Amino acid sequence: MFGATKDLMTSKAARAYLNNLISRYGEVEDLKIDSGRRRIDVVCRLNGEVSPIGVTIEKYQVEEEGAKKFVQVVDSSCTRPWLQAVLRDHLHGRRIEVPSWATAAL
C-alpha cells in the first residue's frame, strides 16, 4: 500500500520535472513509476508527432556513489522505431544522476 502511494506521488513529481526538461520538444501526458518492478511507463506528445508516443523503461537499476544515486536503463521499448533506436544508442548503459527529491522513491 505504501509503495503504491509513494510511486503515485513520485510519478506526479517526475512528470512535472520531465515536462520542464523537454518543454522544447513536447510534453509528458502520463508517467507511472513501479519501483517494485523497476519499471517506468511514459506517454508523451512530441512536437510534430500526430499521436502520443509510449516509452517503457522495462528495467532500470539504481547505483549509489557516496550520497548520490544514479539510475541506469537496462531495457526499454517504444512505440516509434526511430525513438527506440535513439534510446538504445544514447540512454542504455548511461548513468543519470537522480535529483535529490527522487532518491528515496527508487
To the nearest 10°, report the CA torsion of 90, 91, 96, 99.
Answer: 110
The tens digit of pLDDT for each residue in 24-52 reads 999 999 999 998 999 999 999 999 999 99
> Would you place residue 76 in the very low, low, confident or very high pLDDT band (cuts 50, 70, 90)?
very high
The pLDDT mean for the chain works out to 91
> Is the pLDDT assigned to residue 5 strictly greater than 90?
no
Containing domain of residue 57, as a range? 2-105
Provide the 10 A C-beta neighbour count for residue 72: 15
Number of domains in the chain: 1
The tens digit of pLDDT for each residue in 9-23 reads 889 989 999 999 999
